[in-house]
């Protein structure tokens, strides 16, 4: 499944715009910087609770953290490593093609906190994009 298809699936969920934002690789994917394999969405507590009682599957990580899963889309009420002000990230999200995305500077901050091998390439992509957005 390509980025376009994943973003269309998010749109089809018809989630209330002021209650979520796409995080993880999605802000890179919408800009064509890399392929997404899934979509990570941060959500307000009330949206998360609403989806939890719906058709989403509850998944639990080894650390006890939970997220909701719906066919390649993950819904999170918290984001690690943190701490993150989820409400602020959602409120300051950038609207691109009708979807709210966490700002790249925040994705960069998150990638640097994780510092996994796969994050270093994303860090370089983001830094280049922020320096030369028209390139």
Q: Which domains does the chain have, with CATH numbers?
A: 3-105 (3.10.450)
132 pLDDT more than 90: no
pLDDT for residue 75? 97
13 pLDDT more than 70: yes
Q: Are 2 and 35 in contact (CB under 8 A)?
A: yes
pLDDT for residue 80? 87
DSSP string, 65-126: -EEEEETTEEEESS-SSS---HHHHHHTPEEETTEEE--HHHHHHHHHHH--HHHHHHHHHH
In this structure, what token pair is assigned to residue 76? 């999170």
Report the chain's mean pLDDT, rounded to a whole number.
94
Q: Are 122 and 25 in contact (CB under 8 A)?
A: yes
pLDDT for residue 55? 86
How far is 48 from 43, CA to CA, in rounded Å? 6
pLDDT for residue 52? 92
Q: Are 16 and 43 in contact (CB under 8 A)?
A: no
Kindly state the percentage of the chain with pLDDT values over 70. 99
Average pLDDT over every residue of 43-57: 94
Express each pLDDT in 59-105 by its tens digit.
999 988 899 999 899 999 999 887 899 999 999 999 999 999 999 99
> 3-state class of 23 per DSSP?
strand
């Amino acid at each position: 499944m390509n980025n376009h298809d994943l973003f269309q699936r998010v749109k089809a969920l018809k989630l209330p715009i002021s209650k979520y934002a796409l995080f993880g690789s999605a802000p890179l994917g919408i800009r064509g910087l890399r392929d997404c394999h899934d979509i990570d969405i941060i959500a307000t507590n009330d949206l998360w609770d609403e989806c939890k009682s719906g058709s989403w599957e509850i998944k639990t990580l080894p650390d006890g953290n939970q997220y909701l899963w719906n066919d390649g889309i993950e819904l999170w009420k918290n984001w690690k490593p943190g701490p993150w002000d989820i409400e602020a990230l959602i409120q300051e999200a950038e609207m691109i093609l009708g979807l709210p995305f966490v700002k790249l500077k925040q994705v960069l901050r998150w990638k640097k906190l994780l510092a996994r091998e796969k994050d270093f390439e994303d860090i370089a992509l983001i830094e280049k994009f922020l320096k030369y957005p028209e390139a």
